Amino acid sequence: MERLLCRQCPLPPRLFRRRFRMQKHVFLRIVDVLINKNTFFQQRPDATGRLGASALLKCTAAIRLLAYATSADSVDDYLKISGSLARDSLQHFVEGVVAEFGDEYLRRPNETDLTRLLYAGEERGFPGMMGSIDCMHWRWKNCPLQFKGLYSGRAGKPTLVLEAIASYDLWIWHAFFGTPGRCNDINVLDRSPIFNDVFEGRAPPVNYVINGHQYDMGYYLTDGIYPQWAAFIPTISLPLNEKESLFAQKQESKRKDVERAFGVLQARFAIIRQPALARDKYMLGKIMFACIIIHNMITEDERDSYSLRFDPHDYDQDFRPSSSRRQNADEPFIYHNSDNRIGNLQTFMNNRDRVRDQAMHRRLKLDLVENIWLKFGLNNEQTS
């Protein structure tokens, strides 16, 4: 396989990474899995006995359509395959990536992931932080006429909304896609399954101490539109003193992780930066999820080269790992642990009230303001 790829695409590693958006071994891993799991990518003879396009050609065509958002027949000169085959390759490619890699790369944080996230949050001044959340709009150019009123949002153009949670390393931990563009972030949150595992008691416990107070639930950094829940920490829009000003500065800089993730995702895959041309909403969902999965695969492959390194021996917490299973591919990825279900409706409502506790939100925010000041403000004053 390695020799075949080098013969058909003789690119040095640097150029291969720039054109395919990933290292060669990551691309070969996807190709090998699709060959074994999907008969479409297996090379077969046609009616005349000639061998058809190989899996490498089909996957290369799909990657080029995702990365450059070009027309299907634009790969004809480069790969010598027809536009219809390129479209079929794209469809089977995104469906295969979602089906085969979705459980691994669209999962909830496991024991090791939580340890890494909490370690990074504490190093950056936010103990208990599990990432930042925000929404992104993808314009739907060929939206069916009967749906344009429902999906028309920003600037009167039909859009589809992606709600995502991203961490410092740009890994996207949660993706909920398909909400009409007329909805704002709060409407998307009401439909999102983001807290289902917490409500149903399946989420691993997250224990940390801030300013001498014990907490047992993680939180996400948000902008000002999100409600004042215990699971959300927004900035302070009008700080009244130096402590609040420093907190607002640190919170706004760390919340940009999700904005950076959106920017990198669109830079890697121009198909979700340009207006969507497909008329099928579910096909657009598969394209979006496939791009996020490949983005996470690239992040996993290149994460060790980031400036913030993680050593599990430097940070020790007790967690319970959670298992997962994938639902229907047309639905957002919702992960369940059948071994740890809620006992009754009262437990569900108690967990829901904990997530939406405004008193805990205010107390946690005050403790974070003090923690940021002790970690960054006083040290800077003493050194100066």
The DSSP string of 305-374 is: GSSS---GGG--------------TTS------TTS--SSHHHHHHHHHHHT-HHHHHHHHHHHHHHHII
Mean pLDDT calculated for residue range 295-306: 85
* pLDDT for 2 beyond 60: no
**pLDDT tens digits for range 231-287:** 999 999 999 999 999 999 999 999 999 999 999 999 999 999 999 999 999 999 999
Encoded tokens for 241:
């003193």
Q: What residue segments make up the domains of the chain, in order of their start?
A: 2-104, 110-313+325-383
3-47: pLDDT as tens digits: 444 445 567 888 888 889 899 999 999 999 999 999 999 988 878
d(CA 196, CA 202): 8
What is the band of 382 on the pLDDT scale with cuts at 50, 70, 90?
very low
Secondary-structure percent of the chain, ordered helix, strand, coil, rounded to 5? 55, 10, 35
CA angle 339, 343, 348 (to 5 degrees): 105
Q: Cα Rg for the chain, rounded, in angstroms?
A: 23
Of the listed ranges 49-63, 89-103, 314-328, the least confidently predicted one is 314-328
